[in-house]
Amino acid sequence: MLVLCIQIKCFHEIITIGYSVYHSYHLPWFRTLSWYFLLCVNYFFYGETVTDYFFTLVQREEPLRILSKYHRFISFALYLTGFCMFVLSLVKKHYRLQFYMFGWTHVTLLIVVTQSHLIIHNLFEGMIWFIVPISCVICNDIMAYMFGFFFGRTPLIKLSPKKTWEGFIGGFFATIVFGILLSYVMSGYRFFVCPVEFNNDSNSFTVDCKPSELFQLQDYGLPPVLQSITVKLYPFQIHSIALSAFASIMGPFGGFFASGFKRAFKIKDFANTIPGHGGIMDRFDCQYLMATFVNVYIASFIRGPNPSKVIQQLLALRPDQQLHIFNSLKAHLTEKGLLPLLEEAA
């Protein structure tokens, strides 16, 4: 709910900037269509998430099962309705402006809604994948400011004159240390490392599991010069270095992008929601880029194929297709010599 509320507010702030231009021509339906498309995209993404992560729950309820089966068709039909409404709203002599604002809405949806959907996916993998990256971005922002305030001399980028190389480098090392320490503390708690799951027995959502190897202390040897010394670390702490490095090196470019956007439209802040700090989008410009990286990082280096999703797909097949896959899998296991061992164990 928190991610959804932030997403809606960020969308509102960006759309309002475009609406101030559009409204001066007294053209119809822009704001209505923008919010309608937001509803359609959220329906699509949240429906996909619920089906992927809580398939068992969805299959138990008849209405949810029907909505899940035809989810993509319903989503497309909703979008198509909005598309037709936009075509019907076109006004002679203002076509170019209307198509420009149509593109504005869709780029906003891409930046805000798509990336907030990735934040939801990160959350379901475990709270640690949500809290550590966000905290690293916040830490980098604070430490870069402090190092820049006390030691800053060399300008970093023209888009943000107050940013300095001293702050950028100091923030980098401070964020790496912070990420390692925070990861060590959080890796010891199941609440943070366990993914969200639906428990059929208790008919409720649970955050309890046997922590994976990623969150179990292991011995690591130091370089040959210090060969006799070993340290105990959680493997996740190694991954936190990559997360911290991205938050320090690439994360600020989300802020630079937002600065360029505001300069293009000659505004100081996206809104005045937070006194002295601008709008919600001003605070989350780096977070969306970070969330996308975390999702890609998990998919590339952490999470393999999900057996539960494979089973979901198998159960949706016809009986003859299921039987064909069963025979193929049985032949493959027999050829590898695994099936006789499994039968003996049974």
User: What's the average model confidence in pLDDT over 333-344?
Assistant: 71
Name the burial class of residue 232, with classes exposed (0-12), middle (13-18) and buried (19+) by CB atoms within 10 angstroms of its CB: exposed
Q: Which two tokens stand for residue 25?
A: 């021509």
pLDDT digits (tens, 9 = 90+) for 269-308: 888 888 777 888 888 888 888 999 999 999 899 876 666 6
**CB under 8 Å to 229, separation ≥6 — which residues?**
221, 222
The 10s digit of each residue's pLDDT in 125-165 is 899 999 999 999 999 999 999 999 999 889 888 878 888 99
Q: What's the Cα-to-Cα distance from 223 to each of 70, 173, 194, rounded to whole Å?
A: 56, 20, 32
State how far the Cα of 143 lies from the Cα of 178, in Å rounded to an integer. Answer: 10
Contact 219, 232 (CB under 8 A): yes
Which ranges constitute the DSSP H helices of the chain? 2-22, 30-53, 55-60, 62-69, 71-88, 95-108, 115-125, 128-151, 165-186, 190-193, 235-249, 251-264, 280-297, 307-315, 319-335, 339-345
